[in-house]
Amino acid sequence: MARWKPDARQRLVVEALKLFAEQGFDETTVAQIAERAGLTRSTFHRHFADKRDILTAGQETLSRLLAEGIAEAPAGATPLDAVAAGLDRASSSMTEFNRELSPLIDAAIAANDEFRARNAMKAVGMAAAMDDALVARGVPGPVARLAAEMGVVAFSTGFRGWVDPAEGEEPGELRDRTAAAFAELREAAATLG
């Protein structure tokens, strides 16, 4: 059994999600996940505290990338321009692996109440990361929260279109889809008066 390969974390995620879909979350053990990935239990635990962490594996990274993009936006950027920079940074980091993994994650979430609750918290974590990054730039709290929530909606909309494009449509680049969704939200917000 291979003890180390550079893609161990990804393999663990993929095999865990497949097992969750095949036999259910409760029936799947860490040992089964590790074996199916061709790894050891100790390798699993180097990457994840327990099997529940599989479904939130990318959440911390996504939130960090959003916050970094906001922090690195030009000093004179408006709050919405800073959020756009955060969306671009996070979206640009997503790969085909993320796109292909999404149906497996959706199936696992649909089959488990705890996962549905954790998934709802993902949006809360993304919003909090963007809100904190905006406040650190000196943006007032209510403005930061609103801009962050718009960013969450734009990311979710862009991601859904990327993962499941309309019939006959190519998925394209996530960063383009997210930017288009955010531009549409900005236009809609401008009409609110």
Taking only the tens place, the pLDDT of each residue in 57-70 is 778 889 999 999 99
Q: What is the pLDDT of residue 41?
A: 94
Tokens of 1: 């059994």
Evaluate if residue 100 carries a pLDDT over 70: yes
The single-letter DSSP state of residue 52 is G
| Residues 3-11, mean pLDDT to the nearest whole number | 74
Percent of the chain with pLDDT over 90: 68
Q: Which amino acid is at 82?
A: A
Distances in whole angstroms, Cα of residue 65 to Cα of each of 19, 47, 70, 80, 84: 29, 19, 9, 16, 12
Residue 63 phi/psi, 5° resolution?
-60, -40
The chain-wide mean pLDDT, for the chain, equals 91
Helix (H, G, I), strand (E, B) or coil at 193: coil
pLDDT band at 1 (very low <50, low <70, confident <90, very high): very low
**181 Cβ contact list (under 8 Å, min separation 6):** 153, 154, 155, 157, 158, 161
Nearest C-alpha neighbor of 61 from the set 73, 51, 80, 47: 47
**Comparing 49 with 1, which gets the higher pLDDT?**
49
| Residues 42-53, mean pLDDT to the nearest whole number | 91
Superfamily the domain 8-54 falls into: Homeodomain-like (1.10.10.60)
Quote the pTM value: 0.84
Q: The CATH number of 58-190 is which of 1.10.3720.10, 3.20.20.210, 3.90.950.20, 1.10.357.10? A: 1.10.357.10
The C-alpha angle with vertex 41 and arms to 37 and 44, in degrees rounded to 5, equals 65
Q: What is the pLDDT of residue 128?
A: 97
Task: Decide whether 8-54 matches 58-190 in CATH topology.
Answer: no
Could you tell me the sign of the dihedral formed by the alpha carbons of 158, 103, 13, 172, in that order? negative
Tokens of 83: 């959020």
- Residue spans of the domains in the chain: they are 8-54, 58-190
**153 Cβ contact list (under 8 Å, min separation 6):** 181, 185
Span 134-150, pLDDT tens digits? 999 999 999 999 999 99
Q: Are 34 and 41 in contact (CB under 8 A)?
A: yes
Distances in whole angstroms, Cα of residue 105 to Cα of each of 80, 109, 114, 115, 138: 30, 6, 13, 9, 36
